[in-house]
Structure 1
Amino acid sequence: MKLTTLATASILALTAVTATAETYTIDENHTAARFAIDHMGTSTNHGAFYGLTGQVDYDAKAQTGFVGVTIPVASLDTGIKAFNEHLKSEDFFNAKKYPTAYFKSTKWHFKDGKPSKIDGELTLLGKTNPVTLTAAKFNCYDNPMLKAQSCGGDFETTIDRTKWGMDKYTDLKSMRDVKLNIQIEAYKK
């Protein structure tokens, strides 16, 4: 009985917090997921995903938030057409079978009233693993172009690509670790 009452109280408290959160739509023109990975110990390969879509729920006062982002794998661009196609192949992202990746937050951490870290789950190649993004910066402002409040920031992390089954060439000195830099802005409708 006490456990049920506690669970009910927790659900009501969570509902009250999320009920005051503002909903923001991700701005595709100011959102991208960029990556960097070592290439045989010689140089660094860079690329990015564009056209990300999703939603951010953010309550600065209650210090809560949620973000859900869909990443279209076909948007991958390294600036080199042949390399793009290789990365989209079954050897890496397998874009035909898995056309999207998805990140959703599970917990936001705050420092000095602003998001400092976001814990979440990244689903890629049909596998989901935990990922923590660290905020390099975060801000909300009145967007003069969209005539709406916008919030966003730069977030970064490093992931081990083999956790998602992407292990091609890791035995040839290609690093497993992929540095991610996510630029995200979202606007209130």
Structure 2
Amino acid sequence: MMRKMTHVGKTLAATALLLAVPAAAQSADALLACARIARDSDRLACFDAEVANGSVEARRISGLRAAESARIAAEEAAVTAAAGKARAEAEVKARREAFGGEAIGKQRVDPAEVQSVETTLTEELSNPSGLAVYVLGNGQIWRQVDTVNAPRSRPGDAVVLARAPLGGYRLTFTRTKRWISVRRMK
């Protein structure tokens, strides 16, 4: 009886070996086919698919890896979007800071880009000619160029700098709804 068991065991072992050899050869052929793929991402996807065919555990691990890859891709997309938004905000800020810059030879600004800037009045001074000089909340300094009486203003008043229709700039005082012609000094 022991002999028959051994014979049955050998038969089973041989059958398993015979079935495993074509499967291993088939798997090796599939791996070689994957190795021939030129594009890295496609080659990796092929290898991943072949490994996932190996066992239940391999399929489970492959599923976990796919979920982690999706999470990483979502994080990278969020970082890219945030960087794009920050870059756009920095460009808008730079355009606002450049507003009127051509008057001081600082830079050449496309007139179509920024038409007006809203800010606040920090301080009102007077130059030797008696014309007003305005220090604004955005750090810019503008001086009055026309001789009309400047409207009464207080620190903290909201003002709007805008391009004038025929060139130059106007400083409008929001509270009094009056404006004067100005030129940027700094």
Report the TM-score range of the alignment, normalised by the length of the smaller protein: under 0.3
- More relative contact order, 1 or 2 (CA 8 Å, 6+ apart): 1
Report the TM-score when normalising by structure 2.
0.21
TM-score calculated relative to the size of structure 1: 0.21
Structure number with the higher strand fraction is 1
Higher helix share: 2
